[in-house]
C-alpha cells in the first residue's frame, strides 16, 4: 500500500483565495472534459435550467393561445406541437434529470464524504447523452415538429406525418442518461460512504436519491424499448402497436405507463429528499421520524411499479385490473402521507428561519398536499372516469410537477447556491420572486381544477365558450408566474457578478456537505472525513462557521 503524503500549504497568502473546484483549472476543456462530479453538476444545472426556461416559454405560448375560445395565435396543428414540446421538454429534458443531475451530482458525494462518484467517466457520459438527447429533440422541431402529446399514444404516433423517430431516439438517449446517473448513484452510495457513515446516518437526500436510482435503473429500460419499438413501427411497420396489422394500441399504453408512472416518482423522490434536508436545516431540528422517512421512500419506489394502470381506467381494462390498480394507487398515498406529516412535525417547535429556501419549502408543503390529494381523487375509479383527460388531471400534475418538484428544485438551488459558488444572491428579491411564483402558480392552476371538473378536456386548441373566464384567469396567473421565474433568473445571474460572499456554513447545516470548505476543493475534503455522530444532530453545530465569510 502506498503512503498518503499530506499536502502542506506552507505559506498560505491571505489575499489569494484557497483553491476550490471552480478555480483549480481554467479553459473550456477543463469543463467539457471534466470528471469532477461538481463540475458535471454545474453543467447539468445550466442545461436543465435552459430546458426549463424553454419549456416555460412553450407553456406561456400555450396559455396565450388559449386566451380566446377559438384560440388566439396558432393553427390547431401548431398548438398541438407546442403543448407536445412543452410536455416532452419539461418531463424528459427538465424534470427527470433536473434534481439528480444537478443537485444530486453536486451534493451526493459531499454528503457521503466521497471524493467523487464511483464512476466519474460514466457520469460525464450520462451528461453527454443528455446533451445528445436534447439535441435530437430539438432537431425534431426543425424536422417539422411532433404533435403526439408527450405520451406518444399509438396509433396516432404511428400515422402522424412528423418527426417522431427523431424525438423517439432522443428519448432513448435521455433514458440511458438517466439509467447511468442512477446506476452511478447506487454504486456510490453502497461503496463510497465515509467511515462511520452507516446507512441510518445518511442524510435523507441520499436516501431519496438512492430510491430514485433504483427506479431509474429498473423502469427506464422499458421506456427505452418502447420508444425503439415505436421507431421500428415507423421505420418498418413491425405492427405490434398498429391495429391495422393486428397490433394493440392498449399494449403501447401499458408499456408507456409501466415506465412513466414510476417516472413520476423518479421526479418526485429527489424533491422529497431536498425538502427533507431543508426542513431540518432551516428549523435547526432533527428530522421527525427519520427511519420511517427512509423506509417510506423505498416503499414508494416499490409500490410505484404496480400502479401504472391508473392512467388507463377508461381504456377498457378488465375489472380485475381496475380493482388492483386502483387499490394499489391508494396504497402509495400512505407512505407519502407519512412523509408530508413528518415534515410538518419537523417544523413544529423548531427554530424556523424564514429565508428564501425555507419559503420555497413551505410553498412546497402546501402545494404538494393539494397536488397529492387531487391525485388520490383521480385514483378513485368512478371519479376518474369523469375526470380523466380533463384539465383536472392537468392541474393535478402541475401541482406535483411544477408546484412541488420545480419548487423543490428552486428551494434546493437557493439552499446550495452559496455552497456551490461561495456567494449569496439578493435575499429580498428572492423572497419577492418566491411570493410571485406562489401566487402566480395557484392563480394558473386553481381555475384549471374547476374547469376540469366541469368537463373541459385537455389538449384542446379551441374550446366551448363557457370556459373562457377560467382560461383568462389561468393565463393571467401564468404571466405572474413567469415574471416570478424571470426575476429569479435575474437575481441568481446577477449574484454571479456582484459576488457578495456567502458564509462558510450559510444556513447552519450539520451534514458532511456543510462541513467541507465552501466552495469545496477539488477532491471535496481537505482531510478524509469520518462520521461519529447521528445524522442531523444540531448540538454539534459550530456556530462560528455561520459567521465566517468565504474568502
Partner 1 sequence: MFAQLIQDPAKINYVENPAKPPEIDAWGQLPKLASTFDHVDGLFYFTYIVCIFFFVVILGALLFSVVKYRRKTWDQPAASNVTHNTPLEVVWTIVPLIIVMIMFAWGFKGCMDMTVVPEAASRNTYKATAKQWNWTFTYPNHATPSFNEVWIEVNKPVQFLCESTDVLHAFFIPVMRVKRDIVPGRFQSVWFHPIEIGEFHLFCAEYCGDDHSRMYAKVHVVSAEEFATAPWDKWDDTTPALAAKSGESLYKNLCQTCHSVNGTPAVGPTWKGLFTKQGDTFVGRQREVIEGGAKKTITVDEAYITESVRKPDQKKVAESPYDKNNMTAFPDLDERRIKGLIEYMKSLAAAQ
Partner 2 sequence: MSHDGHHSIVIPAPGPEFVPHTVAHHFDSPVQEFQSMKLGFWLFLATEILLFGGLFAAYFYFHEAFPETFRVGGAQLDWRLGAVNTTVLLVSSWTMAMGVRCAQTSQKQKTLMFCALTLVGAVAFMVIKFFEYKAKNDHGLVVFSELFSGYNEATGQLAWFKDYDGVMANVPHGHMFFAIYLTMTAIHGLHVVIGAGLIIWIMKGTAKGRFHAGYYLPVDLVGLYWHLVDLIWIFLFPLLYLVP
177 vs 390, beta carbon nearer partner 1: 390
Interaction residues for Cu ion, span 127-156 (CB under 5 A): none
CA distance 136 to 121: 22
Measured at the CA of 64, the angle between CA 59 and CA 68, to 5 degrees, comes to 135
Q: Nearest approach, Cβ of 392 to Cu ion (angstroms)? A: 14
Torsion of CA 314, 319, 321, 324, to 10 degrees: 110
DSSP-derived letter for residue 13 is -
Q: Nearest approach, Cβ of 15 to partner 1 (angstroms)? A: 29
Contact residue for Cu ion among 37, 193, 261, 339 (CB under 5 A):
261
Contact residue for partner 2 among 32, 245, 486, 496 (CB under 8 A):
245
Contact between 233 and 242 under an 8 Å Cβ cutoff? The reply is yes
Residue 70 partner contact from partner 2, Cu ion, partner 1, none using kind-dependent CB cut-offs of 5 to 8 Å? partner 1
CA 353 remoteness from chain centre: 25
Does residue number 224 form part of the binding site for partner 2 (CB under 8 A)?
Answer: yes
For 140, 338, 400, the CA distances from 366, given in Å and listed in that order, are 38, 15, 11
CA distance 169 to 161: 17
Residue 105 partner contact from Cu ion, partner 1, ligand HEA, none using kind-dependent CB cut-offs of 5 to 8 Å? none
Cell of 346: 419537523
Residue 149 partner contact from Cu ion, partner 2, ligand HEA, none using kind-dependent CB cut-offs of 5 to 8 Å? ligand HEA
Binding site for ligand HEA (CB under 6 A): 53, 56-57, 59-60, 62-63, 83-84, 86-87, 90-91, 94-95, 149-151, 264, 267-268, 310-311, 329, 332-333, 336-337, 340, 369, 372-373, 375-376, 378-379, 384, 388-389, 393-394, 396-398, 400-402, 405-406, 444, 458-460, 474, 478, 481-482, 485-486, 489
Query: Which class for 428: exposed (0-12), middle (13-18), buried (19 or more C-beta within 10 A)?
Result: exposed
Cis peptide leading into residue 155 (ω within 30°): yes
Contact residue for partner 2 among 143, 240, 302, 333 (CB under 8 A):
240
Contact residue for partner 2 among 74, 128, 156, 232 (CB under 8 A):
232
Does residue number 10 form part of the binding site for partner 2 (CB under 8 A)?
Answer: no
Does residue number 226 form part of the binding site for partner 2 (CB under 8 A)?
Answer: yes
Does residue number 19 form part of the binding site for partner 2 (CB under 8 A)?
Answer: yes
Does residue number 434 form part of the binding site for partner 2 (CB under 8 A)?
Answer: no
Q: Nearest approach, Cβ of 219 to partner 2 (angstroms)? A: 8
Residue 64 partner contact from Cu ion, partner 1, ligand HEA, none using kind-dependent CB cut-offs of 5 to 8 Å? none
Does residue number 217 form part of the binding site for partner 2 (CB under 8 A)?
Answer: yes
User: For partner 1, what does the binding mask look like between residues 436 and 475, x meaning CB under 8 A?
Assistant: --------------x--xxx-x-xxxxxxxx---------
Q: Nearest approach, Cβ of 546 to partner 1 (angstroms)? A: 7
Torsion of CA 56, 388, 326, 254, to 10 degrees: -70
Range 165-168, long-range pairs (CB < 8 A, 24+ positions):
165/231, 165/234, 165/235, 166/136, 166/137, 166/139, 166/140, 167/88, 167/136, 167/137, 167/140, 168/227, 168/228, 168/230, 168/231, 168/234
Q: Nearest approach, Cβ of 142 to partner 1 (angstroms)? A: 11
Query: Which class for 351: exposed (0-12), middle (13-18), buried (19 or more C-beta within 10 A)?
Result: exposed
18 vs 144, beta carbon nearer partner 2: 18
Closest listed residue to residue 427, CA positions, set 487, 363, 511:
487
Interface region with partner 2, contact rule CB under 8 A, candidates 218-226, 328-336, 398-406, 478-486: 218-226
Q: Nearest approach, Cβ of 314 to ligand HEA (angstroms)? A: 7
Does residue number 353 form part of the binding site for partner 1 (CB under 8 A)?
Answer: yes
Q: Nearest approach, Cβ of 239 to partner 1 (angstroms)? A: 12
The residue written with cell numbers 497568502 in the block is 13
Range 521-526, long-range pairs (CB < 8 A, 24+ positions):
521/18, 521/19, 521/20, 521/21, 521/24, 522/19, 522/20, 522/21, 522/24, 522/36, 523/115, 523/116, 524/38, 524/109, 524/110, 524/113, 524/114, 524/115, 524/116, 525/113, 525/115
Contact between 294 and 431 under an 8 Å Cβ cutoff? The reply is no
Find the residue with minimal CB distance to Cu ion.
261
Does residue number 545 form part of the binding site for partner 1 (CB under 8 A)?
Answer: no
Can you give the binding site for partner 2, defined by CB under 8 A? 1-5, 7, 19, 24, 114-120, 122, 179, 183-184, 186-188, 190-192, 217-218, 220-222, 224-226, 229, 232, 235-240, 244-248, 251, 255, 521-523
Can you give the binding site for Cu ion, defined by CB under 5 A? 261
Amino acid at each position: 500500500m502506498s503512503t498518503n503524503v499530506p499536502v502542506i500549504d506552507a505559506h498560505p497568502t491571505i489575499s489569494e483565495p484557497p483553491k476550490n473546484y471552480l478555480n483549480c483549472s481554467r479553459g473550456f476543456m477543463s469543463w467539457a472534459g471534466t470528471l469532477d462530479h461538481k463540475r458535471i453538476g454545474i453543467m447539468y444545472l445550466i442545461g436543465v435550467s435552459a430546458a426549463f426556461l424553454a419549456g416555460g416559454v412553450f407553456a406561456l405560448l400555450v396559455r396565450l393561445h388559449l386566451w380566446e375560445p377559438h384560440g388566439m395565435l396558432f393553427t390547431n396543428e401548431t398548438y398541438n406541437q407546442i403543448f407536445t414540446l412543452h410536455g416532452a421538454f419539461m418531463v424528459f429534458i427538465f424534470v427527470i434529470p433536473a434534481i439528480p443531475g444537478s443537485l444530486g451530482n453536486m451534493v451526493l458525494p459531499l454528503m457521503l464524504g466521497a471524493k467523487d462518484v464511483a464512476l466519474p467517466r460514466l457520469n460525464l457520459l450520462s451528461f453527454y447523452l443528455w446533451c445528445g438527447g436534447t439535441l435530437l429533440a430539438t432537431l425534431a422541431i426543425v424536422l417539422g415538429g411532433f404533435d403526439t402529446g408527450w405520451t406518444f399514444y399509438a396509433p396516432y404516433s404511428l400515422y402522424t406525418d412528423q418527426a417522431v423517430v427523431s424525438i423517439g431516439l432522443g428519448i432513448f438517449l435521455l433514458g440511458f442518461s438517466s439509467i447511468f446517473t442512477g446506476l452511478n448513484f447506487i454504486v456510490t452510495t453502497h461503496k463510497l460512504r465515509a467511515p462511520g457513515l452507516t446507512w441510518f446516518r445518511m442524510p435523507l437526500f441520499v436516501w431519496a436519491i438512492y430510491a430514485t436510482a433504483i427506479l431509474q435503473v429498473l423502469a427506464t429500460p422499458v421506456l427505452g424499448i418502447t420508444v425503439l419499438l415505436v421507431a421500428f413501427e415507423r421505420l418498418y411497420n413491425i405492427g405490434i402497436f398498429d391495429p391495422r396489422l393486428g397490433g394493440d394500441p392498449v399494449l403501447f399504453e401499458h408499456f408507456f405507463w409501466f415506465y412513466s408512472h414510476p417516472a413520476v416518482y423518479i421526479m418526485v423522490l429527489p424533491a422529497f429528499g431536498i425538502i427533507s434536508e431543508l426542513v431540518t436545516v432551516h428549523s435547526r431540528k432533527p428530522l421527525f421520524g427519520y427511519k420511517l422517512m427512509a423506509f417510506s421512500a423505498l416503499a414508494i419506489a416499490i409500490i410505484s411499479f404496480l400502479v401504472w394502470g391508473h392512467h388507463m381506467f377508461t381504456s377498457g381494462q378488465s375489472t380485475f385490473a381496475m380493482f388492483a390498480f386502483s387499490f394499489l394507487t391508494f396504497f402509495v398515498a400512505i407512505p407519502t402521507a407519512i412523509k408530508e406529516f413528518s415534515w410538518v412535525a419537523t417544523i413544529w417547535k423548531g427554530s424556523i428561519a424564514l429565508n428564501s429556501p425555507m419559503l420555497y419549502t413551505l410553498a412546497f408543503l402546501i402545494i404538494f398536499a393539494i397536488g397529492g390529494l387531487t391525485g388520490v381523487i383521480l385514483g378513485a375509479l368512478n371519479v376518474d372516469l369523469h375526470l380523466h383527460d380533463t384539465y383536472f388531471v392537468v392541474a393535478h400534475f402541475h401541482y406535483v410537477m411544477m408546484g412541488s418538484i420545480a419548487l423543490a428544485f428552486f428551494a434546493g438551488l437557493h439552499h446550495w447556491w452559496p455552497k456551490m459558488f461561495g456567494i449569496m444572491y439578493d435575499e429580498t428579491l428572492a423572497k419577492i420572486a418566491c411570493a410571485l411564483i406562489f401566487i402566480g402558480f395557484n392563480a394558473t392552476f386553481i381555475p384549471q381544477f374547476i374547469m376540469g371538473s366541469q368537463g373541459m378536456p385537455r389538449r384542446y386548441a379551441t374550446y366551448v365558450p363557457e370556459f373562457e373566464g377560467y382560461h383568462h384567469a389561468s393565463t393571467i396567473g401564468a404571466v405572474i408566474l413567469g415574471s416570478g421565474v424571470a426575476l429569479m433568473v435575474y437575481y441568481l445571474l446577477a449574484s454571479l457578478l456582484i459576488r457578495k460572499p456567502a458564509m462558510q456554513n450559510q444556513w447552519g447545516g450539520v451534514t458532511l456537505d456543510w462541513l467541507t470548505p465552501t466552495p469545496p476543493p477539488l477532491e471535496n475534503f481537505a482531510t478524509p472525513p469520518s462520521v461519529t455522530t447521528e445524522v442531523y444532530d444540531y448540538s454539534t453545530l459550530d456556530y462560528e462557521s455561520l459567521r465566517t465569510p468565504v474568502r
